[in-house]
A and B are shown apart, each in its own frame.
Chain A
C-alpha cells in the first residue's frame, strides 16, 4: 500500500514567488495536515483538513493557505515567499475519528533564494 506521497520532493524558488505543494494521503485516510520543519526544530503545525473542511490552523501568516479535494488529496499554497519560508514541508494523514495515529510523507524541501 502506498504511504503518504508528496510532490515535488525538492523546490527552489525566488523571494516574492508563490509555491504550491501537493499531498496524497494514505488510502482511506480522510484527515490531512501540513507541518513546517526548519533545521534543528520539530515540525510546526500549519493546517489540518478533514472531509474537505479546515479543522485547525496554526500560527502562520495569511500568505499560507491550503485546501482539500474530494479525493482527500491536498495542496498547500504559500504566496510572497520569504527567505524564512525555507524549510521541509511535511504532509501527514490520519484516519480521523478517535484514531490519532498520524503518518507523514517524505516532505517537500523548499529553498527560497
Chain B
C-alpha cells in the first residue's frame, strides 16, 4: 500500500467549474501536510500548507481530517491556468524533512 494515495485522474473540467481532489495517507505519525502543483516537465511548486482547522487561499481551500487520515483540495471557479498535476504531500514525524508524495492528480481545465 502506498503511503500517500491519490486518484490519478485525469480530471477534465470546464472553466468556472469547482473541482475537488482527495488524498489519503497511511502513516498516523504524519504531522505536516501540503499541496504542491506541478506543470508539465517543471518542478513542483508549493500551493499551500494544510492545517487541521482547514485553510483557504483565494479560490483554493484545503481540509485535513486526521481521524480519517484524509486531505482534500477544493478549487473554485477553475481557470485555464489551473491545469497541472496536483501532488498531495506529507511529512512524517521523526523523518527529518523528508516529504512523501502521492503520485499526483492531473487536472485539465477546458475553455
Which residues from chain A sit less than 8 Å from chain B, CB to CB?
31, 33, 35, 40-45, 48, 50, 55-56, 58, 88, 90, 92, 94, 96, 100-107, 109
Among A40, A56, A104, the residue within 8 A (CB) of B103 is A40
* Docked-complex contact A42 and B101, CB < 8 angstroms: yes
Q: List 23 A-B contacts (CB under 8 A).
A: A31-B97, A33-B98, A33-B99, A35-B99, A41-B103, A42-B4, A42-B101, A43-B44, A43-B99, A43-B101, A45-B98, A48-B97, A55-B97, A56-B98, A90-B43, A101-B34, A101-B46, A102-B46, A102-B97, A102-B99, A105-B43, A106-B43, A107-B43
Known: A55-B96, A100-B91, A101-B49. A106 touches B42 (CB 8 A): yes
Contacting residues, chain B, for A43 (C-beta < 8 A): 44, 87, 99, 101
Q: How many residues of B contact A (CB 8 A)?
A: 23
> In this assembly, does B22 line the interface, its C-beta being within 8 Å of a C-beta of chain A?
no
CB of A58 to closest CB in B, whole Å: 7
Majority SS at the chain A contact face: strand
| CB-CB nearest in chain B for A98 | B32
